[in-house]
Structure 1
């Protein structure tokens, strides 16, 4: 299955165009290094949470917008080789000197896809999720996520991906584990659902929330209070 490098960052809202250009300029290099796809999405419908949320994950300020992004690789070996090239390539070093956001608060890590379901159409809107899941409930989570993915596809989703944290570094300021307040024995899920557009997504959610088959049944294999999500508009998709 697909291997992902997932990112969440806080970008000054005024720097949106500069951020888009920065990402577009970097895209050919990542493709050269082996990335099959590079997606950058801009926060559009990102709610505040009671326990966790995207804003807290990257310590976003009032004048900043959250960006949810990922690179897709065919496997971990290709991703690892790409990261080695990124660290030693002079072109990437020069681009790093002019980043239009605070890289110290960006969170990143490697994730191994455990669910990857595809529908029809082209992506035009994304729901992004971060979820803490006990390691011993990974299989139960995969089974649940697989069944839910089918519901999303039935309602018009273009693609549903659930990826298990495989290579998540501890950060000095922010990181994925702190973002979801992960406890000992828990892993982190990086997930996204791509829709053709926001109206399709909104209509699908209305139907899903009223679907009795989508209501929680018994003990869930994760802590829903520490899971968080948001809606994002793509600004780069290469």
Structure 2
């Protein structure tokens, strides 16, 4: 079975992580309620990557920021489109949309991905 994945990369100030975690927990429940298979949010912990671009660099972090990576797994791209439409219309998220107080949405990277290799 081929899945579809939405991926996110964003810079965030460490002092905002508790507030962000509450928002992400709520968002994850909404995505799962509408049919997402999995919802993960992870905060950077080890950025020691000599001779490579770090996630901090890729996210455009300022000196006082760290990185969150996140992904949502869907049964298919069609289901992703249906689920995301339902999520965006869900009133439980209306208070979160476009709230730049936790992080700057304009600096978040986002893309949809087709499955290439998978080992479960």
| Same fold at TM > 0.5 | yes
Task: Please classify the TM superposition score into its range, dividing by the shorter chain length.
Answer: 0.7 to 0.9
Match of 2:23 in 1: 22
Structure 2 distance, partners of 1:35, 1:48, is: 32
Q: Does 1:84 align with 2:98?
A: no
SS of the equivalent of 2:95 reads helix
Residue 118 of structure 2 corresponds to 116
Runs of 4+ in 1 over 4 A off after TM superposition: 48-51
Aligned position for 2:53: 52
Shift of 1:49: 5.9
TM-score of the superposed pair, with normalisation by structure 1: 0.46
- Matched with 1:74 is 75
| Greater relative contact order structure (CA < 8 Å, 6+ sep) | 2
Conserved? CA contact 1:9–1:66, under 8 Å: yes
The one-character-per-residue Cα deviations of 1:87-146 (angstroms, maximum 9, x if unpaired) are: 33333232124451111110011101111102xxxxxxxxxxxxxxxxxxxxxxxxxxxx
Deviations 1:26-75 (A, max 9, x none): 11211122211100111001236656332222211111110111001111
Is the radius of gyration larger for structure 1 or structure 2?
1
Distance (Å, rounded) in 1 between the aligned partners of 2:109 and 2:61: 12
2:100 maps to 1:101: no
**For this pair of structures, how many residues does the alignment match?**
118
Aligned partners of 1:94, 1:84: CA distance in 2, in Å? 17
In 2 relative to 1, CA 77–49 (structure 1 residues): closer, same or farther, beyond 3 Å?
farther
Q: What SS does the aligned partner of 1:7 have?
A: strand
Counterparts of 1:56 and 1:90, CA distance in 2: 35
Asked if 2 retains the 8 angstrom alpha-carbon contact of 1:3 and 1:76, the reply is yes
C-alpha distance in 2 between matches for 1:16 and 1:6: 19
Which residue of structure 1 lines up, in the alignment, with residue 63 of structure 2?
A: 62
Unaligned runs of 5+ in 1: 119-238
Partner SS state of residue 116, structure 2: strand
Unaligned runs of 5+ in 2: none
- Give the strand-richer structure, 1 or 2: 1
